[in-house]
C-alpha cells in the first residue's frame, strides 16, 4: 500500500472517487443515518480498493450491474486516528468503476451532533448538523477521506416533515417521498419501507463542482432565513430574534463578495449563504461552499462578526477552489485565506482595521511558538503529521505564519505584481488539490529569482518565526497596547478614547493587562478576561467561567478556558471545577470539541 495521506487509508495506486450519489434516511430517535452511496471512480479498477470509515456499520457492497454482493472486509481494530479501513474486492471478470455501499452511522459519529429540543434556540424541535473537517466525513459515509479526492455529489435527505435541510450544495427540490427514488430501495433494516411515510419529506441537493470530502455538510432542523443580499440568505433556527440579529450583523456581505471578486476573480459558487448554528458548534466558522456554518458567538451587535464571514468568504477562492493535498500542507488553505481575508477587510473596513487584525494575529503566532516550544515540528508550515491527529495540533501557525510568508513575498515584489500572481495562481489551480512543492515550483516559475531574495526553505520547512517576518505597525494597535500599559501605572482610558472600540479592541486591551475584572456580552472579550481571572485565581468569577463553558461549544473558547483551569501547579480547585463542568456539559459539545477537551485533560490531569 502506498499512502496518499497520513490521515487516510486511501492508496495512491488506486483510482480516486469522482462522483457520489447519496440516499440518506435521518432517524432522529436513534441518532443514526441509514444510507446508500453510489460511487463512481475516475477509472475502472480490479482487486482491492481502500476506503476510510469511522463508527460505521457496513451492511453490503453491491455490483451496480447485478446488485449482487461484492466481497469486503473491515480492519479488525480501529486506528485511533484514521478509524477503520474498508477493503472492497472488485472483480476481474467484470471490470467496474462504480458500486453501491449500504451503511448506517452510529450515535458516536465524530462528524454529527444530534441536539435534543432543549439544546436548541427554539426548544421545540431536534436539530442535527455536520462538521467534517479535517477527517470526519468518514463517520457519515464511507469514502476516500482525503482532500486529494475531490468529489461531485448529489443527495436525497429523508427527514421529518416539520423540519427542513440545508447543504453545501444547490437545493433542487423539497417534495413528498417517492417509492424507490434514488437508491432508497436498497436501504437496510426496513428503512426502505419507511422512506415513503406521510410524516417524512425529501430534500434534494446537487453539488456539480468537485470539492474535498471535508466540505460535505448539512444541517436539519426547524429553519428560517432572512435575505441580506442578491447572493446571500442568513439561515438559523426559526427564531426571530436570532434571525434578525444575524441579518443585521451580516448586512454587508454582498460588498465583501464584490471586493473579493475584484481582488481574486469571479465568485464561482453562485450562492454565499450563511447558517447560524446552535451554540454547541465547535468553530467560529466553517467554509462549506454555498452554505457557510457560523457560531452564534460571532453575532456581536456591531457588525464586527462580519470579519469571521470575511475569512470564510476568502476560502471560496483559497481552500475551496484550491485545496491542500493533505493536512501537512494546511497552510496552503489557511495562510492564503488569512491573507485574502485581510485584503477584503482592508477594502471594506479600512487599512487600520486590517493592520489591527494582523497585530492580533502576530501576538497569537508568538503565543503558539511558546505552546509548541517542546514540539517545534508544528511551528513549520510544511510539517510531518504521521501518527498525529490533526485536531490535536490545530493552531494559529498555518494561519499566521502562512500569512506572514505571503506578506513577505508581497513586500519583495510589490502589491501590484503580487495581486497578478495570486489571480494567476487561482486560475491555474482552481478545483485542484496541491502541496507545498507545487506552490513553490509555481512561485519560482512566475517570479524568477525569488529564491535568491527569500529563503523559501526556511519559511516552509524551518521552525519558529523567520527573522524577516513583519511585526505590524498600526496606530490603533499601538494606541491600545499603550493604554493597556498605562493601566498598569494606574490610568484608566477615558471614555472618548474607547468610544469607537468594538470587541477586537477590547480583546486586545484585556490581553495586554496584567489582571483585570471586566465582563462583556462579546465572547472574545469575555473569554480573554476569564482567562485572566483564572490565571490570577479570582474565584469570584468562576461562576461566570462555568456558565460560559456550559453555554457555548466553540473550541476557540473551550480550549483556552479548560487549559487555563488545568494547566500548572497549585490548581486543585480549578481542576476539580474543570472536570465537573465537563462532565455536566460534555453531551452539549460536538464530538470534536469533546475530544479536544479530553486531550487537554489527558495532558494536564
Q: Is 349 within any annotated ligand binding site?
A: no
SS percent in the chain: helix, strand, coil, step 5: 40, 25, 35
Q: In which region does residue 258 sit, left (phi positive, over 0), alpha (psi from -120 to 50) or beta (all else)?
A: alpha
The position carrying cell 442535527 is 128
Q: Is 334 annotated as a binding residue?
A: yes
| Backbone angles phi and psi of 372, in degrees to 5 | -100, 20
Residue 159: in which H helix or E strand, if any?
A: strand 151-160
Residue of 312, 368, 396, 511 marked catalytic: 312
- Known catalytic membership, residue 129: no
Q: Please tell me the total number of residues recorded for the chain in this structure.
A: 605
Contacts of residue 29, Cβ cutoff 8 Å, sequence gap at least 6: none
Cβ neighbour number for residue 251 with a 10 Å cutoff: 16
Q: Is 346 annotated as a binding residue?
A: no
Instruction: Tell me: is residue 311 an annotated ligand-binding position.
Output: yes
Q: Which of 153, 214, 399, 542 is catalytic?
A: 399
209 is in an annotated binding site: no
**What are phi and psi for residue 9, nearest 5 degrees?**
-85, -5
350 is in an annotated binding site: no
Q: Is 542 annotated as a binding residue?
A: no
**Is 399 a catalytic site residue?**
yes
Question: Is 315 annotated as ligand-binding?
Answer: yes
Question: Whole-angstrom distance between the N-terminal and C-terminal Cα of the chain?
Answer: 38
- Whole-number Å distance between alpha carbons of 435 and 542: 45
Q: Which three cell numbers stand for residue 111?
A: 462528524
Cα–Cα separations (whole angstroms), residue 357 to 307, 407, 412, 503: 9, 14, 22, 12
Residue 110 CA to residue 131 CA, distance in Å, equals 8
80: number of Cβ within 10 Å: 8
**Cα 17 to Cα 444: distance, rounded to the nearest angstrom:** 32
Element (H, E) at 535: helix 523-535
CA 3 from centre of chain: 24
* Cis-peptide, bond into residue 134, ω within 30° of zero: yes
452 marked ligand binding residue: no
Whether 284 contacts 295, CB under 8 Å: yes
Helix (H) or strand (E) holding 324: strand 322-324
Report the side by side order of strands in the sheet with 273-276. 223-229, 232-237, 273-276, 291-294, 285-286
Please indicate if the annotation marks 287 as binding a ligand.
yes
Task: Confirm whether residue 285 is marked as ligand binding.
Answer: yes
In angstroms, rounded to a whole number, what is the distance separating the alpha carbons of residues 564 and 141?
A: 37
At CA 551, angle to CA 546 and CA 552, rounded to 5? Answer: 110
Question: Any known ligand binding at 282?
Answer: yes
Please tell me whether 284 is known to bind a ligand.
Answer: yes
Annotation: binding site: 131-133, 282-287, 311, 315, 334, 554-556
Annotation: binding site for a peptide: 131-133, 282-287, 554-556
Annotation: binding site for Zn(2+): 311, 315, 334
Residues labelled as active-site residues = 312, 399
Amino acid at each position: 500500500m502506498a499512502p496518499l495521506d497520513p490521515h487516510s487509508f486511501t492508496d495512491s495506486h488506486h483510482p480516486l472517487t469522482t462522483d457520489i450519489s447519496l440516499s440518506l434516511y435521518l432517524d432522529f430517535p436513534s441518532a443514526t443515518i441509514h444510507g446508500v452511496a453510489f460511487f463512481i471512480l475516475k477509472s475502472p479498477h480490479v482487486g482491492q480498493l481502500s476506503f476510510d470509515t469511522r463508527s460505521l456499520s457496513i451492511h453490503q457492497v453491491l455490483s451496480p450491474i447485478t446488485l449482487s454482493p461484492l466481497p469486503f472486509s473491515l480492519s479488525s481494530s480501529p486506528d485511533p486516528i484514521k478509524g477503520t479501513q474498508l477493503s472492497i474486492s472488485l472483480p476481474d471478470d467484470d471490470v467496474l468503476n462504480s458500486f453501491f455501499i449500504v451503511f448506517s452511522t452510529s450515535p458516536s459519529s465524530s462528524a454529527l451532533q444530534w441536539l435534543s429540543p432543549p439544546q436548541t434556540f427554539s426548544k421545540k424541535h431536534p436539530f442535527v448538523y455536520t462538521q467534517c473537517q479535517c477527517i470526519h466525513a468518514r463517520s457519515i459515509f464511507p469514502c476516500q477521506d482525503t482532500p486529494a479526492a475531490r468529489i461531485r455529489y448529489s443527495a436525497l435527505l429523508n427527514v421529518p416533515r416539520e423540519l427542513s435541510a440545508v447543504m453545501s450544495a444547490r437545493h433542487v427540490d423539497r417534495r413528498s417521498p417517492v417509492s424507490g427514488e434514488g437508491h432508497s430501495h436498497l436501504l437496510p433494516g426496513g428503512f426502505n419501507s419507511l422512506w415513503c411515510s406521510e410524516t417524512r419529506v425529501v430534500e434534494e441537493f446537487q453539488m456539480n463542482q468537485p470539492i474535498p470530502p471535508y466540505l460535505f455538510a448539512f444541517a436539519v432542523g426547524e429553519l428560517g432565513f432572512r435575505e441580506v443580499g442578491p447572493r446571500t440568505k442568513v439561515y438559523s433556527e426559526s427564531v426571530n430574534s436570532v434571525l434578525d440579529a444575524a441579518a443585521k450583523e451580516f448586512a454587508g456581505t454582498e460588498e465583501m463578495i464584490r471586493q473579493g471578486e475584484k481582488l481574486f476573480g469571479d465568485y464561482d459558487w453562485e450562492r454565499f449563504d450563511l447558517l447560524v448554528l446552535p451554540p454547541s458548534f465547535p468553530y467560529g466558522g466553517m467554509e462549506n461552499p454555498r452554505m457557510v456554518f457560523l457560531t452564534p458567538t460571532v453575532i456581536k451587535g456591531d457588525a464586527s462578526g462580519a470579519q469571521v464571514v470575511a475569512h470564510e468568504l476568502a476560502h471560496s477562492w483559497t481552500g475551496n477552489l484550491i485545496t491542500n493535498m493533505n493536512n501537512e500542507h494546511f497552510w496552503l488553505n489557511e495562510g492564503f485565506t488569512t491573507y485574502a481575508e485581510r485584503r477584503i477587510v482592508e477594502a471594506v473596513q479600512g487599512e487600520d482595521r486590517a493592520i489591527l487584525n494582523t497585530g492580533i494575529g502576530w501576538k497569537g503566532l508568538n503565543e503558539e511558538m511558546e505552546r509548541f516550544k517542546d514540539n517545534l515540528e508544528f511551528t513549520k508550515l510544511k510539517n510531518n503529521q504521521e501518527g498525529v491527529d490533526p485536531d490535536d495540533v490545530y493552531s494559529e501557525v498555518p494561519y499566521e505564519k502562512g500569512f506572514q510568508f505571503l506578506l513577505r513575498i508581497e513586500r519583495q515584489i510589490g502589491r501590484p505584481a503580487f495581486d497578478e500572481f495570486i489571480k494567476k495562481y487561482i486560475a491555474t489551480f482552481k478545483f485542484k488539490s496541491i502541496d507545498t512543492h507545487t506552490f513553490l515550483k509555481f512561485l519560482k516559475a512566475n517570479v524568477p529569482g525569488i529564491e535568491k531574495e527569500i529563503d523559501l526553505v526556511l519559511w516552509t520547512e524551518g521552525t519558529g518565526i523567520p527573522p524577516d517576518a513583519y511585526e505590524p505597525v498600526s496606530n490603533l494597535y499601538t494606541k491600545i497596547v499603550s493604554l493597556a500599559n498605562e493601566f498598569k501605572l494606574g490610568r484608566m482610558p477615558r471614555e472618548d478614547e474607547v468610544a469607537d472600540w468594538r470587541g477586537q479592541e477590547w480583546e486586545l486591551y484585556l490581553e495586554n493587562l496584567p489582571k483585570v475584572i471586566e465582563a462583556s456580552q462579546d465572547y472574545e472579550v469575555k473569554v480573554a478576561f476569564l482567562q485572566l481571572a483564572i490565571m490570577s485565581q479570582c474565584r469570584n468569577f468562576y461562576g461566570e467561567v462555568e456558565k460560559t463553558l456550559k453555554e457555548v461549544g466553540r473550541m476557540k473558547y473551550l480550549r483556552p478556558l479548560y487549559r487555563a483551569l488545568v494547566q500548572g501547579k497549585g490548581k486543585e480547585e480549578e481542576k476539580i471545577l474543570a472536570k465537573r463542568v465537563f462532565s455536566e456539559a460534555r453531551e452539549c459539545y460536538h464530538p470534536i470539541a469533546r475530544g479536544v477537551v479530553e486531550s487537554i485533560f489527558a495532558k494536564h490531569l
